[in-house]
Structure 1
């Protein structure tokens, strides 16, 4: 029993912590990253991509630890990260100074998808040093 609890916490606790971080960010009123519109857009949308790529990777790692088939693990990771992005946008509709946008949901999904693409297609072609790092993080 202790082993199962430790294993669950080792793989799923980072996912839940990251979900809380995302929630905390979206619970605050929006702040301009730059006075120049296109810079503000690039910074914010890049943040969406990166944040949801990390979430998708953490979910992938947790599902992989449960011996879920590799293809299913990737698809489920993208789905769950994207779904959380949708719920996060809904949550923002209740946050003063924030508005939910379909565009943000798209960028969240792009980030989640890019992470899995990287794990499946690009990581296997990387140097042995990078692959060793990914194995230590239990991504591959």
Structure 2
């Protein structure tokens, strides 16, 4: 059974947010950096944002597939979908003034997505282990 279509709305919203942020020019982002550095001292660039954004995107993709059914195969799909979207995002940035595609950004996107997939698979295994323990202790 497949997940209902509405379960993919968070992923669509997350992709839209990433797209809109990627459409900011280099000058606009440079203006945001000092404000972000006040919130997060030590932030030198927006590179860490890639980890976070694609961690969240991967979670929304997993939600679309159904969190409770996440397994290694679906986790791989989540990672691949996230990287594919990251690649389209980098391509899009080639057309934004003051921005350019960057392989390092795509790597950060993939790492963020993979971290989310690992967390979800471990969470599912922990839940399955807990349910087996409860079933045997009765």
Structure 1 unpaired stretches of 5+: 127-140
2:113 equivalent in structure 1: 112
Q: Is 2:62–2:70's contact at 8 Å kept on the other side of the alignment?
A: no
- Please give the TM-score of this superposition, normalised by the length of structure 2: 0.73
Cα distance, 1:46 vs. partner? 1.3
Deviating beyond 6 angstroms after TM superposition, the runs of 4 or more aligned structure 1 residues are: none
Partner Cα separation in structure 2 for residue 76 and residue 123 of structure 1: 16
- Please give the TM-score of this superposition, normalised by the length of structure 1: 0.72
* Matched ranges for 1:1-140 at <5 A: 7-9=4-6, 11-30=7-26, 31-32=29-30, 33-34=33-34, 39-41=43-45, 44-64=46-66, 70-121=71-122
Structure 2 unpaired stretches of 5+: 128-138
Partner Cα separation in structure 1 for residue 69 and residue 120 of structure 2: 15
* 1:108-128 residue CA offsets vs partner (Å, 9 max, x unmatched): 0000000011112267659xx
Question: Aligned pairs, how many?
Answer: 117
- Which has the larger Rg? 2
Cα RMSD of the aligned pairs, angstroms, is: 2.8
